[in-house]
Structure 1
Amino acid sequence: MELRADLRSILQYLPLVAQSSSLVWPPSVEEELQTISRGPSESMVNSGEALALHITNMRKSLSLNASDLAPYALQGYGLFFDKKISREESANFFGEVVPALCRLLLQLPSMLEKHYQKADHVLDGVKSGLRLLGPQEAGIVLLSQELIAALLACSFFCLFPEVDRSLKNLQGINFSGLFSFPYMRHCTKQENKIKCLIHYFGRICRWMPTGFVSFERKILPLEYHPHFVSYPKADSWANSVTPLCSIEIHTSGAIEDQPCEALEVDFADEYFGGLTLSYDTLQEEIRFVINPELIAGMIFLPRMDANEAIEIVGVERFSGYTGYGPSFQYAGDYTDNKDLDIFRRRKTRVIAIDAMPDPGMGQYKLDALIREVNKAFSGYMHQCKYNIDVKHDPEASSSVRPQLCSIHEFSIHVKHFVFLD
């Protein structure tokens, strides 16, 4: 397999190495994965403490520094699997799930090769290969659910290199922050986030889903462009004669439970995924653990700029939950019955748009209002459906039911205005 430009852009952030135009695991890591894949009777990986030891060995073989892990993360693996769940659950996880995850990881090189072979031909010639989708770089990445599962297994075993991710405005992607001992010792919400993810791994190891998920970075160009809608200024909005769309108000139910195909807004952190892989359980973090495939976007999607949004289509929901924030709890299995589109993506469309943090009264200033409306506009709009000059009235019709996140503390009036955009 040739080292294509898209692969080269992401290779330093993957745990594999390029060898003779192929992607491979280092021999010692492959041997470790082979051993664990044969089950606890041979590998002796039958506890959180034993798992932590093998994670350490694989990270050493990948030349990854222990200091890159969250504090006391390896102790946290021991605490969770040996103390926080039942013996029966732990035995099932180490007897069935961990070996299956290792078998999945052994297939990762061939999965990526297959992915890149098809990447330029799936979406009518649009490039869709796994790559770094940087700021001001509009584009789409289409991943199979199986490939996403393998990438998330890398996160669980903390195999991703962390070095230099921050230089590209990328968050950490390993699960060490979830298992960090200080968070876990007294924090039930942390345990329940992990339970959602462990349930996901159990599900995909019993039956691997065969669909796809797309991640698209959407941009409103800041400068005039003759073929795309550019970032509208205040005058464009003030002079628009396009009517606002109608709105429905529902007084009960969560957005992820709505049966229709409305856009599902994620009031996101500017860093996609927010604090999912550390200590928080607000709107975005909850969505990411009940739909874990969203986490895969954190691998290759850097921080959003003011004129950018991220659209994700096709993620499957695996877990139920109750509560919010400190009261968040895993509530068992969830069967997602959403239909599939022609690309075998579930008809679930999540739009990640980041509101300004703690704006106070500043949210009513003109620049702030324009920023928020254009942020929503960038998420709702499909540039491919428009070939108009920015001098024309900006349009954005959408059926959106917002998930509101209290951390941003925006006026409900401003939110209402944004959703009528």
Structure 2
Amino acid sequence: MRDSRSNTMNTLETREALTSILPYLPLILRSSSLFWPPPMVEALKSLARGPLHSNVNSGQVFAIAISDLRNLLSLPDSALHPSALHGYALFFDDFMSRDASEKWFGNVVPQLADLLLRLPELLESHYQNAASFNGTETGLRLLESQQQGIVFLSQELIAALLVCSFFCLFPATNRGAKHLQAINFDNLFTCLYESHDISQENKIKCIVHYFEKICSCMPGGNVSFERKVLPLTNSPSHISSPKANFWSKSSVSLCHFEVHSSGLIEDQPAEALEVDFANKYIGGGALFRGCVQEEIRFMINPELIVGMLFLPAMADNESIEIIGTQRFCDYTGYASSFCFSGDYKDVKGVDSMGRRKTRIIAIDALSRVGKRQYTPECLLRETNKAFCGFYDQSSRQQYENLFVDTEFSEAEFDEGNGNPLESSTRNLLTYFQSVNETSSNQPMRVNEQKWDDDKVGIATGNWGCGAFGGDPEVKAIIQWLAASQALRPFILYYTFGLESSRKLDKVVQWIISQKWNVGELWEMLVEYSRQKLKQQTKLTFFEWLLPSLYDDDPMIMDTSFT
């Protein structure tokens, strides 16, 4: 078996993948095989035999053991920050019950150590399988900026890599230079000790619960991590980044839009693509003090965290799609009130590649842009960013005629020449038009439908709002435009009770009744934004678009930026 794996490790694709990721792994490569340093093996074997052999039976001793492992790897700055050491001791000795602590150190830690011992074997097996996956490179590697690509990882390999994070074994050198997030968990425990924030304690509870679950029953599925890129120049193999003229001339019908004033994106009933309101550094503050939408998702689906290992920051024309992560935790609250509330049984189905049908798309909105968000450049950036996340590259053939060229000349759109978009997509869009016509006459609830795999919609909400300062009404319309242009059949939009989104459903129904297409709605958004920039209106977009909705509602206040 070793010879077979060594031969696999010698393939060109595997060597290139390893060359990119090896500096960020705690293993060594020797004779085409991956190894732990021998002293590390002995230390892990001791941990794997249990507390009677290793004496690791408390948070304080556990923290010292982690520091010792880092020393054996000769990691730069191998000594953990004193606050991190105190954080491990605080959680496992003070916040965890005696019974839970005995179970953790008696059963869980030995299994985690054993999983680390098997990491070299798991990685070599991974590369052996990745090298022969339908001729597509899927091995673990850095998916650098502007590099369209996908990585497939087994849930078992992800678990082993996350144990490395928990034991703080990943080298931190040069991660910043590659625009990579910190991946070790020491900062999480540092924040716990220094802030005494209840949300930090509960974030760690989610991760600890994950490790307890995988030690009792290791999941056997796969997870894919894909960097999606809209090239800035035309490419025969990819859809390029649209220009403003493309959006204004689009005749694609608006998709079905369903507003939910309660509920959560992750609980959506359909097989929709669930939007992660991401930081450009995927994961945001998940391993620091952050505890809002993205960070919470990374805690209840901890397998998402491993993407931070090899996915550098997203550029304006990029998004990251992750399929297959399992949800392990239930929770209540948000931000400072976030609280782990127990086990979650994930009953999502599995696709033909062994991935759970949980599709998450990370798209980062512009932050703190104020009135600049109404400029043509920002409108285009946000719409293209959402479109990059929403379109399905695997179904590129159905887009080929739709996106022949994003640089159409004005002559090509003359009335005499006809619209190339309209003529090439009329049959393709018949289904979506019928959906919209149905919804304008009688509401269609998505949870009453059985959507096929090739009709996956979008589940989203107030993306780029809140701390990022985005206009929630404009952002809702931007996502609708992007989802429609990406030929998604529906949007499930969760308002989280936001006051300024109270009229969203009525505005959506009115827009549908006008039978506007993407281009027409885009033009309305552009005109509103132009007036907003010139201070010709102080109205919100919904007030400006449909004043009659607000005539009988004096409680609606102007939420515009001044």
Q: TM-score range by the shorter chain?
A: over 0.9
Which residue of the partner structure matches residue 413 of structure 1?
Answer: 473
Equivalent residue letter for 1:340: V
Three-state SS of the structure 1 residue aligned to 2:474 is: helix
Shift in Å, 1:259: 2.1
1:318 aligns with 2:328: yes
Which residue of the partner structure matches residue 17 of structure 2?
Answer: 6
Three-state SS of the structure 1 residue aligned to 2:258 is: coil
Q: 2:72 aligns with which of 50, 61, 64?
A: 61
Query: How many equivalent pairs are there?
Result: 420
- Post-superposition Cα deviations, 1:166-190, rounded to whole Å, max 9, x if no partner, equal 0100011000011005655521110
Asked if the contact 1:294–1:315 (Cα under 8 Å) also holds between the matched residues in 2, the reply is yes
Larger-Rg structure: 2
CA distance in 1, matches of 2:153, 2:136: 14
Mark the CA change 1:203 to 1:403 in structure 2 (over 3 Å): closer, same or farther.
farther
- Post-superposition Cα deviations, 1:131-190, rounded to whole Å, max 9, x if no partner, equal 000000000000000000000000000000000000100011000011005655521110
Equivalent residue letter for 1:415: K
Asked if the contact 2:71–2:78 (Cα under 8 Å) also holds between the matched residues in 1, the reply is no
TM-score, scaled relative to structure 2: 0.73
1:402 aligns with 2:457: no
CA distance in 2, matches of 1:182, 1:384: 42
Three-state SS of the structure 1 residue aligned to 2:257 is: coil
- Post-superposition Cα deviations, 1:360-384, rounded to whole Å, max 9, x if no partner, equal 1111111101000100111111234
CA distance in 1, matches of 2:236, 2:350: 35
Which residue of the partner structure matches residue 103 of structure 1?
Answer: 114
Which residue of the partner structure matches residue 438 of structure 2?
Answer: none
Which residue of the partner structure matches residue 204 of structure 2?
Answer: 194
**RMSD value, Cα:** 1.7
Equivalent residue letter for 2:62: L
1:304 aligns with 2:362: no
Mark the CA change 1:224 to 1:69 in structure 2 (over 3 Å): closer, same or farther.
farther
CA distance in 2, matches of 1:48, 1:130: 32
Asked if the contact 1:76–1:179 (Cα under 8 Å) also holds between the matched residues in 2, the reply is yes
Three-state SS of the structure 2 residue aligned to 1:273 is: coil
Three-state SS of the structure 2 residue aligned to 1:66 is: coil
- Post-superposition Cα deviations, 1:176-225, rounded to whole Å, max 9, x if no partner, equal 01100565552111000000000000000000000000000000000122
CA distance in 2, matches of 1:15, 1:370: 42
Asked if the contact 1:234–1:370 (Cα under 8 Å) also holds between the matched residues in 2, the reply is yes
1:85 aligns with 2:96: yes
Equivalent residue letter for 2:136: V
Shift in Å, 1:393: 4.5
Mark the CA change 1:403 to 1:74 in structure 2 (over 3 Å): closer, same or farther.
farther
CA distance in 2, matches of 1:226, 1:147: 35
Shift in Å, 1:42: 0.8
Three-state SS of the structure 2 residue aligned to 1:321 is: strand
Shift in Å, 1:46: 0.3
Three-state SS of the structure 2 residue aligned to 1:180 is: helix
Asked if the contact 2:191–2:288 (Cα under 8 Å) also holds between the matched residues in 1, the reply is no
CA distance in 2, matches of 1:368, 1:39: 56
Equivalent residue letter for 2:56: V
CA distance in 1, matches of 2:213, 2:462: 29
Q: 2:60 aligns with which of 49, 62, 74?
A: 49
Q: Which runs of 5+ in 1 are unaligned?
A: none
Shift in Å, 1:45: 0.3
Three-state SS of the structure 1 residue aligned to 2:251 is: coil
Which residue of the partner structure matches residue 32 of structure 2?
Answer: 21
Three-state SS of the structure 2 residue aligned to 1:350 is: strand
- Post-superposition Cα deviations, 1:300-341, rounded to whole Å, max 9, x if no partner, equal 000000000000000000000000000000000000000000
Deviates more, 1:221-230 or 1:21-30: 221-230
CA distance in 2, matches of 1:227, 1:8: 26
Between structures 1 and 2, the one with greater helix share: 2
Which residue of the partner structure matches residue 219 of structure 2?
Answer: 209
CA distance in 1, matches of 2:113, 2:73: 16
CA distance in 2, matches of 1:183, 1:235: 53
Deviates more, 1:221-230 or 1:100-109: 221-230
Three-state SS of the structure 1 residue aligned to 2:209 is: helix
CA distance in 1, matches of 2:220, 2:33: 25
Three-state SS of the structure 2 residue aligned to 1:296 is: helix
Correspondence list, 1:22-421, <5 A: 22-66=33-77, 69=80, 72-122=83-133, 124-180=134-190, 183=193, 186-386=196-396, 387=400, 388-391=403-406, 393=421, 399-404=457-462, 406-420=466-480, 421=482
Equivalent residue letter for 2:129: K
Equivalent residue letter for 1:389: V
Asked if the contact 1:400–1:419 (Cα under 8 Å) also holds between the matched residues in 2, the reply is no
Deviates more, 1:359-368 or 1:192-201: 359-368
Three-state SS of the structure 2 residue aligned to 1:77 is: helix
Shift in Å, 1:120: 2.6
Three-state SS of the structure 2 residue aligned to 1:100 is: helix
Asked if the contact 1:69–1:177 (Cα under 8 Å) also holds between the matched residues in 2, the reply is no
Equivalent residue letter for 1:116: Y
Shift in Å, 1:414: 1.8
- Post-superposition Cα deviations, 1:86-132, rounded to whole Å, max 9, x if no partner, equal 1111111111110000011100000000000010323x221100000
Asked if the contact 1:15–1:159 (Cα under 8 Å) also holds between the matched residues in 2, the reply is yes
TM-score, scaled relative to structure 1: 0.96
CA distance in 2, matches of 1:37, 1:89: 18
Mark the CA change 1:233 to 1:185 in structure 2 (over 3 Å): closer, same or farther.
closer
Identity over aligned pairs, percent: 52
Deviates more, 1:91-100 or 1:304-313: 91-100
Asked if the contact 1:120–1:128 (Cα under 8 Å) also holds between the matched residues in 2, the reply is yes
Shift in Å, 1:20: 1.6
Three-state SS of the structure 2 residue aligned to 1:248 is: strand
Three-state SS of the structure 2 residue aligned to 1:414 is: helix
